[in-house]
Amino acid sequence: MLKAIKLKNIAIFASGRGSNFAAILEQIQRGNIPAQIRCIISDYTHPPVFDIAGKAGISTHWVNRKQFDSRDDYTIFLLSLLEKYKVDLVILAGYLKLIPMPIVKRYKNSMINIHPALLPNFCGKGFYGIKVHEAVIESGVKITGVTVHFVDEHYDTGPIIIQEKVEVLPDDIPETLAKRVLKIEHKVYPEVVKAFCDGRLEVVDRKVLWRE
């Protein structure tokens, strides 16, 4: 008798259109990732990602620091949401706020983010979206890419899970480069989520090992 696979519960933090969320959701719906997305949390009242979630029947929550009297209250509320949904994995998909420290600690090596460059380059506070690609082109580098990493206490400094290169073409503008990088994001992010949910990722001394 086959043993039933326990699905991982996922929470998505997103601020915008949610294309990476959509790519992950598609692979879950196809049965390729043993998980279920329990909720979407955003710091905006109704970002485009909520429309995707609504069509899939996924709960959405607007949670902004300004709604709360203190940062502690804000953090406690976020933690309570994640506990309510019994979340195993937190995925940042274009989320622009720094996650409160107690949540980062609670989900150490269970919270992942994607960055549209090869870390540790073109990263840190203020480096997101098209701003990253503008900086890449201005620098004159020939290779950029995608990095998926675990989240730690700072912007873009957690253990790197996977990186994939993207060539910077001589006639690239930020928008054309962004389009090619995003295509790679949609490929590698679901791969990482699947590996996590399959129990194939292990962190040893800040190095991420992929097990067969």
| Beta-ladder partners of 59 | 39
Told to judge if 115 belongs to the known catalytic residues of this protein, a careful annotator would answer yes
Q: Catalytic one among 115, 133, 149, 186?
A: 115
Spell out the long-range contacts of 24-30 with Cβ–Cβ below 8 A and sequence spacing 24 or more: 24/91, 24/93, 24/189, 24/190, 24/193, 25/52, 25/56, 26/190, 27/190, 27/193, 27/194, 29/56
What is the rounded distance in angstroms from the CA atom of residue 128 to the CA atom of residue 116? 8
What is the rounded distance in angstroms from the CA atom of residue 16 to the CA atom of residue 99? 16
Helix 130-139 × helix 174-197 angle, to 10°: 120
Query: How many Å is the Cα radius of gyration of the chain?
Result: 17
Contact 35, 204 (CB under 8 A): no
For residue 38, give the nearest of 22, 59, 7 by alpha carbon: 59
Residues catalogued as catalytic: 115
